[in-house]
Structure 1
Amino acid sequence: MDQYTLQPSSNELTLVLGQQLESGPLGNQHVVVRMMAASLNYRDLLCRGDLEGTRPGLVPLSDGAGEVIEVGSAVTRWRPGDRVSPAFFPKWRSGPFRPEHLAEALGGSSTDGVLRSLFVAHEDAFVRIPDRLSFAEAATLPCAGVTAWHALFERDQVGPEHTILVQGTGGVSIIALQLAQAVGARVIVTSSSDTKLAVAKSMGARAGVNYKTVPDWDQAVLDLTDGRGVDHILELGGPDTYNRSINCLAFGGTISQIGVLTGFGSKPDITPLQFKNGRINGICVGSAEHFERLMAFVDAHAITPAVSKTFTWSGAAEAYEALRRADHFGKVVITIQDHL
């Protein structure tokens, strides 16, 4: 059985294919999953570029899906043949987020992720995959899907009376579009590509704004809402977008702070936020219970996650480059089973 690891090099960590080591005797409450697919997030590019913060030899990627092949003697939730996906934070089952969960995030600075043949974890770390989803589709949800769900439905209660703004057409934005559209919310999408905006509209977006041809995109959003603004913004841009997000936020609205696509260190002018009685919610993925509720919603509303590009196991490095080019719509996926 094989796995990919991140190994030191001059400019960024190198993706290296090697043999997966035996993990020792299976714990009583642990489960062995044969991984079938994994997907990438912008975070995975940051981890590769963090020469000091990422542990050499780390197995990357947080998002995957597979099939249970072995269970410990005390496992009650799963049996061989079950289709499951590991939670991004495997020890955050429910309740409030705790500081120690950050270090436990899969595929991050120190905790091995899912880009390997076999994945072993406690039975509570997994969520069942709906029968209607493929392994590739399910693999897109642990980070991007849970993040969007947490923002829109756990920390807010988005419904048909709301207008939502999503920035870009990556994984979080597109699943957020699908989730919000499923409850009748109006969704506005920003992108630098008219082609991607057309695809977003075909999926239910009410409007799109090209922020390259319309630099004052916040004013365009205000015009689209007759000056009212939007009720909820998924803020994915960072320093270059924050003040514009606040400007086009409706009175009493919510900004979900999620991404850092234009870098770290946002310093927005928050005075307008105060006078709008608006709020900012920090969203760092979510719990296993959030994931379960997302899966149930996706199943009930027949949502099919958007898989933009799929790469084979041997093409994992190409998948990273595809993500870096940012020409995808939705998610980039690596199939794992093709080498077994």
Structure 2
Amino acid sequence: MESTELNWRLLAKRQWPLALSLTAIALAETGAIDTGLGWWQLPGVVVICAIAVLAPRRPFDAALALAFAVACVAVYMRFLGVSIAPHLFWSGANISMTGAAMATIATLVREESRARSVIGTLLVLAAMTVAEVLGWPIVSAVEYREWSPDALNFSIAGCVLLVLSVGSGLYFRARDAERASQLAASVAAAQNSERMALARELHDVVAHYVTAIVVHAQAGQMNRDAAEQVLPTIEASGYEALTAMRRLVGTLRDGESSGPAASSSLVDDVRSLAAESGLPVRLSFDLQDAVPQELARSVLRLVQESLTNTQKHASAVSSVDVGLSSSDGVLRLAVADDGVASGVPVGGSGGYGLVGMRERVELLGGRFSAGRREPTGWTVRAELPLA
């Protein structure tokens, strides 16, 4: 099963309680099997439980697969003349199979559309019904000749379990929708904050170049002899204004708050960020070219986000190496730590840190990479054109 929404690591974090519960129940049921061929139910139970655990990857496909697996288990157990043990209802399902079916229905209702949820749920219920129908003759004829099932009580119990499954799915669906709404509101607020910061930068940076163009143009009009001398200056100022405008537009992105203000010295600003972070930062600088103020501001945001990620996601950090260098018109940034992943990030995480850094670098025409380093730690690298 493939999905771009939930990778295997997130799946493991989300589904390990269900996997552990189903495993414990299946092991307990195995000890209750006292028929000669009762162990034939184990492969089917394992497959059914595995499908339930993997259901968030492709919920509707998982419901189809689980229904098919339940039906297959019922058919081959009927063929062998052996009943499922221990029984949860009349004859065709045990606790682990029923729990897997409930979990799959809950996931289906949570993740899929209404139509697909109804279809998938009906198919799972149909498969469970088939299992009961195929299993009852074996139980009545072989194991419990004197026992008569209470159809009403079993039906009520089945309806209660169905309501619990669907209700759980609807609850988590509503909670997901609320979380998405809160996230959208946070992104909108961050966008507004960033636009205000960009308005100030437009006034302080781009307006400076435009003012220089106007002043030199006026000087050229007043003194025709000096016109040729000021034209190169006007051209250079216009180029700088266009470059600054492109970089400011490149900083527009979803959900990012405004970063630190850049001074005239990128080195001093990075040192200040390192000191404020409280991390054991080791700095390395080899800047052979002048860094425009707008680009320096973006670099500061990258450094700040990298140090923030280290604080939130890593523990036992003994060193953080921050390196800045430039050559051949390219500014290179590297931030590497030796920490160990701490699991749940401090203060939670919206999951936009790396996405935001990648968007910023790519919008500025650069290249970005991030990943684990051996034996421990994390590395962030960025290459940005200076022109």
TM-score by structure 2 length? 0.20
Q: Where is the strand percentage greater, Structure 1 or Structure 2?
A: 1
Q: Where is the helix percentage greater, Structure 1 or Structure 2?
A: 2
